Amino acid sequence: MAGLALKDVRKQYGKVEVIKGIDLDVADGEFVVFVGPSGCGKSTLLRMIAGLEEISSGTLSIGGRVVNDLSPKERGIAMVFQSYALYPHKTVYDNMAFGLQLAKAPTSEIDAKVKRAAGILHMEHLLDRKPSQLSGGQRQRVAIGRAIVRNPEVFLFDEPLSNLDAALRVTMRAELSKLHRDLGATMIYVTHDQVEAMTLADKIVVLEAGVVQQAGTPLQLYHNPQNRFVAGFIGSPKMNFIPVEIAEAGSGGVTVASADLARTLIPVAPDAAVAGAKAVLGIRPEHVTGGDRPVTFKGRVELVERLGHQTVVEVATAGGATVTALLDGTTLVRPGETLTLGFDPADAHLFGESGRAMERFHLPEIARMTRRTAA
């Protein structure tokens, strides 16, 4: 097992740069998830680590060894593909054994390793089947089994659950998490599903346009996003952004106001904020509740989505902002009504004109912990 270090890693296709200088350290045994919108470069970055895409510049080391010029096989990695990429004409056993067979490992060793991997994944009974005779979840297991047999230093997963149905995805997610605990291996996982990212990761790396926007524990990213992009990307429904103007900036926080909000003190470090500058207030839908909160505003209900345990309400304010609130599932509200909503300024985020977040004074204890101390 080994850690991983990327130093100023870049990828160019002709003149187009798709990975724009990534610096990242992955500790031994860490579960790192790359998330980001389509085309952000997360899969490309994973493929560069695998050795399936060349690294244009920068260095990639696995276990302290620079592997830029090594073939995928020599890097000590194993990869699980979104399509599973099982060899269709080989049995499950041979699919898992293929790498070892190519390396001319002794038959007894191959047999022991394949049986062990099959045991870990509870699929001893599937070894004689062909991939076409397996269900989606079973194919997924075989793909993971093939990775385990390679006994890699680093496991790479490229959106491995996106072809499964919702229920199976939840099961496999839990199994992957357990597998990570059992094997203690370093894993890098690409997904666009933030639930997978939040639940699996020790560390989430949010990528956009080939740049790391922020890397940190899931709760750091949730409670302390460093910019508007991360704030909007992590969390569902998406964080509300309300344009405001800074009325006053002091050591106690920044006072903002807008057409919809009276002057409100947001407890954040003012950085370079000056009175009169524009800013964006961020507040998560789950922090927007009824009118009994310190800050209130009114809006017309545009949309009501009832999820049973919760109700998603979208309101349009007089000032032109659209705010989503996550209310109790039994809230009586209809489209067209006027609703008073409110929030606690301590839950709010404030972003300067550049989109950078001002540091929040009040962070929950859990947002300061690493994953392991929190667990």
Per CB under 8 A, does 73 bind other proteins? yes
Per CB under 8 A, does 50 bind other proteins? yes
Separation of alpha carbons 156 and 17, rounded Å: 23
Per-residue binding letters, 150-189, with other proteins (x by CB under 8 A): x---------------------------------------
Check if the beta carbon of residue 57 is closer than 8 Å to that of residue 10: yes
Residues with Cβ < 8 Å from 101, sequence gap 6 or more? 94, 110
The angle, 0 to 180 degrees and rounded to 10, between the axes of the packed helices 136-149 and 166-183 is 20
Give the range of 12-20, 88-96, 231-239, 329-337 binding other proteins by CB under 8 A. Answer: 88-96
Q: Which residues inside 208-247 make contact with other proteins, applying CB under 8 A?
A: none
Give the range of 66-74, 180-188, 298-306, 330-338 binding other proteins by CB under 8 A. Answer: 66-74
Q: Which residues inside 90-129 make contact with other proteins, applying CB under 8 A?
A: 90, 98-99, 102-103
> What are residue 187's phi and psi, to 5 degrees?
-135, 135
Per CB under 8 A, does 78 bind other proteins? yes
The single residue among 1, 70, 85, 346 that binds other proteins, judged by CB under 8 A, is 85
The single residue among 115, 130, 300, 371 that binds other proteins, judged by CB under 8 A, is 130
**Residue 339 in tokens:** 């609703």
Q: Which residues inside 336-365 make contact with other proteins, applying CB under 8 A?
A: none
Query: Closest by alpha carbon to 47, among 28, 21, 23, 75?
Result: 75
Amino acid residing at 235: G
DSSP secondary structure letters along 196-211: HHHHH-SEEEEEETTE
Check if the beta carbon of residue 66 is closer than 8 Å to that of residue 60: yes
Residues near other proteins (CB under 8 A)? 50-52, 71-73, 77-79, 81-83, 85-90, 98-99, 102-103, 130, 132, 146, 150
